[in-house]
A = this chain, B = another copy of it.
Amino acid sequence: MARSQAGESVLARAARVLAAFGHDSRVLTVAEIARRAALPVPTAHRLVAQLLDVGFLERTEGHGVRVGLHLWEIASLGARALDLREAAMPFLEDIHAATRQHTQLTVLDGTDVLVLEWLRAREALPGLRLHAGRRIPAHAAAAGAVLLAHAEARAQEEVLAGPLTRLSDRTPTDPSDLRGLWAHARRRGYAVCDGFVDARATGIAVPVPGRNARPVAAIGVVVPADEARPMELVPALLAAARGIGRALSIPASPG
């Protein structure tokens, strides 16, 4: 396999090119990609040309490139995201229709919560930076609390080792506060996080049970903090999470 002088593979450098894109930077020039991926401009040019060839990048109408539809198509086969999403979608839609609040499906990935699906509520809190593919530091999210509550000690320690970034005045950044939050979530079976990510928002999350004791995902809603009545929503979320867990344990039909 071809490696650069630094011993990095072509694929590793191509992955850095692709990772240069973000929700605030969906279209980039080659120069911007080179800077963000810390690659020489000629190297970035060559890699971008090859990624365009295989359809992992596309040219935009201007001078930029963006992640290509073909990459999206392959990635939509990502079994974990897809299976979870397929099993969860009917239940998420029910929660969304019943509560008219932002509704999301998330998994723990390292020290972050990764949003797999998000159903936006048009009349609810506007301007929240929520979308599939977004990451939220797990210590700041209600979903993080219910997922870390049941995680291996090693995963918890990795989060506590920080950095425990403060996203709002109310984001917990003290390890003992976080341990308390997780213990509480484990005992109660849900988490309510008031203003941790955004002062206007309360997050409510419950774990989706997996085959063993550990949850495979979390579902939750984000409601306006000033009118949050979480205890009216928790039973519906718990019931939906059980339904999703049951749907996941049924082998998928070949269709």
**Chain B contacts for A12, CB-based, 8 A:** 50, 53-54
Structural contact, B73 and A69, CB atoms closer than 8 A:
no
- A10-B10, A11-B11 are known contacts. Are A133 and B76 too (CB-CB below 8 A)? yes
Q: Give the contact stretch, choosing among A78-86, A141-149, A156-164, A201-209.
A: A78-86
Taken together as a complex, chains A and B put the C-alpha atoms of A15 and B93 apart, in Å, by 34
- The binding surface of chain A is classed by DSSP as mixed
Interface residues of A in 96-134 (CB under 8 A from B): 96-97, 107, 109, 114, 119-120, 122, 127-129, 131-133
Counting CB contacts under 8 A, is A67 at the interface?
A: yes
Structural contact, A74 and B1, CB atoms closer than 8 A:
no
Counting CB contacts under 8 A, is A7 at the interface?
A: no
Counting CB contacts under 8 A, is A246 at the interface?
A: no
Interface residues of A in 223-242 (CB under 8 A from B): none
Structural contact, A77 and B26, CB atoms closer than 8 A:
yes
Q: A11-B50, A68-B78, A89-B119 are in contact. List 20 more A-B contacts (CB 8 A).
A: A1-B2, A2-B2, A2-B10, A9-B50, A11-B47, A11-B53, A12-B54, A15-B54, A58-B80, A66-B80, A67-B75, A69-B107, A71-B71, A74-B75, A77-B133, A82-B131, A86-B131, A90-B122, A93-B93, A128-B255
